[in-house]
Structure 1
Amino acid sequence: SYRAVSRRLACGDVEGRLEAIFGRVRAIQAKSGRFDMLLCVGNFFSSTSEAEWAEYRTGAKKAPIPTYVLGANSPDTLSYFPDVSGCELAENITYLGRRGVYSGCSGLQIAYLSGTEAQQQPEPAHCFSTKDVAELKTSLLATPNFRGVDILLTSPWPRDVGTFANSTGEVDTKKCGSRLVADLAASLKPRYHFAALEKTYYERLPYRNHMVLQETPQHVTRFIALADVGNTSKKKYLYAFSIVPMSSMDPAELVKQPQDVTENPYRKLRKEAPKSKAPLSAEEEPACQFFFDLNKHQGRKRPSEGKERGDSQPKQAKKPPQPTGPCWFCLASPEVEKHLVVSIGTH
């Protein structure tokens, strides 16, 4: 319904430039009408933002829009976030927390993960670990009929997001970004994924969350990286969008595929994940993403099959995956894509 549409703003690294971002938001709202919230990814504070922040913290100034921010990405801004689980920092400015899901009254689901990927154990306070990502995934994937989240907020880019995509400019996504964020995005299937930290703007072509002809069509994901607020290169740091919560949408409308949709950039990464230093647990292996019961069933049967065959026998070759959806090229199918048929032969 019309009422379910919400208008959001997302912005990149504010780095303490509160007057700049809130001034811009005021100007946009004066021109285009009210937005429901501002979502900030990347560094909201910098080590030198104390004077400007004090005016908001004390209430001398107020944010013009409900503003939701991610936590610290470096040790020198940790002190701005007194409660690790999330809290109000000032009127209209809320720290979401270390990780979790925020659901507003509109029904919109916003998953978030604060910090950068830990490179050591135990992880520093401004970093997230494999465990953080696994727990966030588990909490959502366990919900009945989980199809994905509306929005995912992370500070780092996901590793390999540039695969099958339009150019990412100077950012090499094979080396830059977080593997854990890529794994999270692949599992949570957000409709929008916002990130920052690279000081550039990049709007990726939308990508699929299903394998064509093998899985039921699902909604696409749009990844958008935003630049830092007030950057001198005039790179885009504020993104306005309207969104209807997934829960309120007609399923057919939700899964419509835009013409410029690409393959999922994370498939290869997820296939390699079990070989990496921090393997995913059995429940989180990519193959289980859609076929939980199928894999559990196989898991129980394997030992007995092994006994019957005898360990000396070579393993049977895996059969290629069978399509689970309707065949788009069968002329008897009501879903036949006739415009893709070039000619019909007999044999």
Structure 2
Amino acid sequence: MSPPPRILLCGDPLGHLNQLFKRVQSVNKSSGPFDALLCVGQFFPESDEGIDEVADYVEGRCSVPIPTYFTGDYGAGAARFLSKASNLGFKTDGIEVCANLYWLKGSGKFSLHGLSMVYLSGRKYPDAGGRGRYSEDDVDALRALIDESGIVDIFMTNEWPSGVSEGADTTDALPAVSDPWGSDPVVAELAAELKPRYHVAGSKGIFYARQPYSNTDSVHVTRFLGLAAVGNKDKQKFIHAISPIPASTMSAAELQSKPLHTTSSPYMIAAKPERTGEATKRPANSDIDVQYWRYDVSRKRQRQGGPERLCFTFTSTGSCSLGEKCNFRHDTDAREQYLRNVCFDFLNKGKCERGPDCRFTHNVVDEGVIPQRTRTNGGRKSSGKNCWFCLSSPDVESHLILSLGETYYCALAKGPLVQDHVLLIPIEHHPDTLTMPSEAEKELGIYKNALSTYFKNQGKAVVFFEWIFQGIPHANLQGVPIPLSKASRTLFAFNFAAKQLEFEFTVLSKSSDNTEGRNLLRSQFDGKSNLFYAELPDGTILSYATDDKNKLHVQFGREVLAGLLKLTDRDNWKKCVSKEDETKMAENFKKGFQEFDPAR
């Protein structure tokens, strides 16, 4: 059996990267080697004076000694240093800022040397520049992980969970341990629900290793570690080493082992009655009091001023593996409203703090009414009931779905021309990709880049094409991988086919990434014309607009590539339908595409 991974944990770096990495190298030399460094709390400097030090690493003048992951994406220079990384798409295992430095953006789950890692980036409140705040979607995404199989090994947050010192021996602890400043009740909720084996947080400026505590309905214990900031004047510990065995490889006996002085969960204590029969009192305006009602296993306690909260998992999916043990409400009426595009926060709390940025409806929808505004993730949308591409349709071929993003999803083409022939499809019911909003266009570009990279690693190029005509039920941009040896022949193949049908393509672009030509195409397309266009591997975009939708066969793009690849017997998808083969191809694609998947 391989030795367990060796991990260094660090509190707020605050831009003091020279001091941090000097210490890491020292510890690595004396006690290493270590596999990774995990930083929680504010990563960037508190003022512009520290920006140059960070720039030395980001711009390559200094090197990061070991793989380093951080969640505190706020502080001076954060926007500057992360703007380029923001355009690289989204990967839950870290967006590379520079060599060996990875930004854990938003929230997510990934595997690190066999350890199950979960993180929440940002804080409850933004910094002075309005940066660094996590969103409701980030929190909801983590709640959706609760029902997944497996134990979370390490949970990373910037702020401490409210009330974490409850029930622990704090005789030797600093007064700041129980001070609510730098604590977050939402983090407490997530910690109670996720039940990680290790919970690491920063932001309070002190070091605190809490006694292990047991978790409700789980056999394992949790160890909380609060870490001080790098370079703090009180010489509080800011770096700590652990070497946890991944829970996935531990025996039941090892997981059930409880150290001496293990306490009860601090998140249950506030809900326990005192000997007088009354609940523990807290100030009426306490954030902790507002949140602790959620952990009452008896489910008899109600939050003052309103009913208990909804279960996000049940509301969004229709089921919850916890069943009656779930501390949240399973409300079928609320789920019906959710499916009609009503905002979850509105249903749950009676209000939504997103304001005009929220994409959902803020009023109860009558039966049969489909709102115009649609949700663009999770599968809620307005659509034709019989549309193959709408995720809520009974006709959707779910076995073909490969990746689900915010505004687009990727699916294997039904009856594919070649293995890994894919479609990029708007989640919203929409007739073409060219008139989708700019944010959707941005995500489409990210998906296209990911597919191009994936195919390039296989020695292939990719041709994208779309046939838009009035009355088309649901847009789909097709992506067909071809051998690199055939890439230079694609222009000839399309022009030859056009000549046979007595028309000529308009050449819009020959840029490396099609962006310029596609933007021009979007600006010229009125959403009313019939249009075919193809994006070729060398950056050329060919387009042809026609008033006669019968001028080109609906399978035109596929027929051209079938001829190029000498697969004329597969020029029609109906000749290639086999659900068993499609299912196998979809599973194989997902495995290979996993590391490139923007929605991962």
Same fold (TM over 0.5): yes
2:90 matches 1:91: no
RMSD over equivalenced CA pairs, Å: 3.1
1:12 maps to 11
* Correspondence for 2:174: 169
Alpha-carbon contact 1:73-1:114 (below 8 Å) kept? no
Q: What is the DSSP-based 3-state SS (H/G/I as helix, E as strand, rest coil) of the residue aligned with 2:176?
A: coil
2:296 is the counterpart of 1:275: no
Instruction: Write out per-residue CA displacement over residues 17-57 of structure 1, whole angstroms, 9 at most, x where no aligned residue.
Output: 11101101111111112100000000111133221122212
SS at structure 2 position matched to 1:232:
coil
Superposed displacement of residue 70, structure 1: 0.8
CA distance 1:282–1:102, shift in 2 (3 Å): closer
Does 1:81 pair with 2:82?
yes
Deviation per residue, 1:304-344 (Å, 9 max, x gap)? xxxxxxxxxxxxxxxxxxxxxxxxxxxxxxxxxxxxxxxxx
- Counterpart pick for 2:153 among 142, 150, 153: 150
Tell whether 2:192 aligns with 1:186. Answer: yes
Counterpart contact for 1:38–1:66, Cα < 8 Å? yes
Quote the offset at 1:262 in angstroms: 0.4
Assess if the C-alpha contact under 8 Å between 1:4 and 1:245 holds in 2.
no
1:198 maps onto 2:204 in alignment: yes
Displacement of 1:6 in angstroms is: 0.5
Per-residue deviation, 1:209: 0.6
The code of the aligned residue for 1:108 comes to L
Higher relative contact order (CA 8 A, sep 6+): 1
Mapping of 1:1-80 within 5 angstroms?
1=1, 3-46=2-45, 47=47, 48-74=49-75, 77-80=78-81
How far off its partner does 1:76 sit? 6.2
Residue pair 2:108, 2:141 contacting (<8 A) in 1 also: no
8 Å Cα contact 2:147-2:321 kept in structure 1: no
Deviation of 1:290 (Å): 7.8
Larger radius of gyration: 2
Distance in 1 separating the partners of 2:51 and 2:29:
28
User: Measured at CA, do residues 222 and 299 of structure 1 come closer, stay the same or move farther in structure 2, by a change above 3 Å?
Assistant: closer
* Counterparts of 2:62 and 2:121, CA distance in 1: 26
Aligned-pair distance for 1:77?
3.1
SS at 1:254 equivalent: helix
Pick aligned residue for 1:135 from 141, 161, 170: 141
Secondary structure of the equivalent of 1:70? strand
> C-alpha separation between the residues in 1 aligned to 2:205 and 2:214?
26
Q: Paired residue for 2:465?
A: none
Return the letter of the residue paired with 1:292: G
Q: CA deviation at 1:219?
A: 0.7
> In 2, distance between residues paired with 1:159 and 1:149?
20
Q: How far apart are the structure 1 equivalents of 2:305 and 2:239?
A: 36
Structure 1 SS opposite 2:263: coil
- Distance between the aligned counterparts of 1:41 and 1:88, measured in 2? 17
- What is the CA–CA distance in structure 2 between the aligned matches of 1:188 and 1:165, rounded to whole Å? 20
Offset from partner CA, 1:130-166 (integer Å, 9 cap, x none)? 442122121x1232x34x3000000100000010012
Q: Deviations over 1:166-224 (max 9, x none)?
A: 224222546331010000111111111111111111110010013xxxx5x51110000
**How far has the Cα of 1:4 moved from its partner?**
4.6
Q: What's the secondary structure of 2:41's corresponding residue? A: coil
- 1:102 Cα deviation (Å)? 2.3
Shift of 1:60: 1.8
2-structure distance, mates of 1:53, 1:169: 31
Instruction: Report which stretch shifted further, 225-234 or 179-188.
Output: 225-234
On the 8 A contact 1:196/1:226 being kept in 2, the answer is: yes
State the alpha-carbon separation in 1 of the partners of residues 137 and 331 from structure 2. Answer: 26
Q: Tell me if structure 2 keeps the 8 A contact 1:156–1:181.
A: yes
Q: TM-score, normalised by structure 1?
A: 0.74
Counterpart residue type for residue 282 of structure 1: C
SS of 2:23 mapped into structure 1: helix
Aligned to 1:117: 124
Contact 1:71/1:81, CA 8 A, preserved across alignment: no
* Matching residue of 1:320: none
The DSSP-based 3-state class of the residue aligned with 2:160 is coil
CA 1:135/1:233 → structure 2, altered by over 3 Å: closer, same or farther? same
Partners of 1:66 and 1:5 lie apart in 2 by 17
Runs of 5+ consecutive residues of structure 2 not aligned to the other structure: 272-287, 295-301, 333-600
Distance 1:276 1:101, change over 3 A: farther
Question: 1:185 is aligned with what amino acid?
Answer: A
Q: Which residue of 1 aligns with 2:399?
A: none
C-alpha contact 2:310 2:331 (8 A) present in aligned 1:
no
1:125 shift after superposition: 4.3
Alignment partner, residue 215 of structure 2: 209
**Amino acid aligned to 2:111:** S
Q: Indicate if the aligned counterparts of 2:107 and 2:120 stay in contact, CA closer than 8 A.
A: yes
The 3 A distance-change label for structure 1 pair 6 and 116 is: same
C-alpha distance in 2 between matches for 1:228 and 1:277: 39
Checking the alignment, whether the CA contact within 8 Å between 2:43 and 2:74 is kept in structure 1 is: no
Q: Which amino acid aligns with 1:117?
A: K
Q: CA deviation at 1:97?
A: 1.1
Instruction: For 1:247 and 1:254, locate their aligned partners in 2 and report how far apart those are by CA, in whole Å.
Output: 10
| Percentage of identical aligned residues | 35
Letter in 2 for 1:272: W
